[in-house]
Amino acid sequence: MSKQTSVKLVLLGEAAVGKSSLVLRFVSNDFQENKEPTIGAAFLTQRCTIGTKTIKFEIWDTAGQERFANLAPLYYRNAQAALVVYDITKPASFIKARHWVKELHEQASKNIVIALVGNKYDLLVDPETGDEIEGRRSVSVEEGQALADEEGLLFFETSAKSALNVNEVFTAIGKQIPEEAAKPADQPSSSGRIDLNAPTDETGAIGNCAC
């Protein structure tokens, strides 16, 4: 039996770190070299089966430029999950990611599931050997992991271009989402709110990924 729940997921992060590309990879398994910057936000959906449950991701892909940060609350409102994305070759984007995590913890839903994602892993990789090239990276895995541990986040390094870890991020989020928190997909979301007091039973929700 498969239960379908929908999960509102928001992507946050500095401009040009690859938020839209991650979504495009996840939703269409596609990659565009020069993707137009997102103005305001883009909305996409994707279904994903994790164990016995099917999750419909309602993905809000937000604009990265600093001044659009004003608008972010519109998008992460009621979000159950967030991807905070940075570019592993751009240290400033990591600082920005830190800010976003703080903002989410302060302002978003209480039990929002956040994944920290260091994108553009492909830039580190030698196309011939597939090994990581020394010195290309600006944000170490340890730094990312440390922030994730500190703030209780999922952590991945991805490449939207090579599809590395992209599905894994979403799957991991899907597993983390407490079943009760996710709104049933076929019920009108009249309130759009999540019952934060509902008991969470995480162990039961996690199954094996069949994504």
Q: Does 141 bind other proteins (CB under 8 A)?
A: no
Q: Does 35 bind other proteins (CB under 8 A)?
A: yes
Do 5 and 194 form a contact (C-beta atoms < 8 A)? no
Q: Which is nearer to other proteins, 33 or 131 (CB)?
A: 33
Q: Does 68 bind other proteins (CB under 8 A)?
A: yes
Radius of gyration of the chain (CA): 16
Q: Does 70 bind other proteins (CB under 8 A)?
A: yes
Q: Which is nearer to other proteins, 130 or 188 (CB)?
A: 188
Buried/exposed code over 90-107 (b: 16+ C-beta within 10 A; e: otherwise): beebbebbbebbebbeee
Q: How many CA atoms lie within 13 A of 27 on its CB side?
A: 19
Tokens representing residue 23 in the block: 């979504």
Q: Does 185 bind other proteins (CB under 8 A)?
A: no
Q: Which of residues 76-115 bind other proteins (CB under 8 A)?
A: 77, 92, 95, 99, 102-103, 106-107
Separation between Cα atoms, residue 208 and residue 46, nearest integer Å: 18
Q: Does 40 bind other proteins (CB under 8 A)?
A: yes
Do 72 and 103 form a contact (C-beta atoms < 8 A)? yes
Q: Which of residues 1-30 bind other proteins (CB under 8 A)?
A: 15-16
Binding residues vs other proteins (CB under 8 A): 15-16, 32-41, 43, 45, 58, 63-71, 73-75, 77, 92, 95, 99, 102-103, 106-107, 188-192
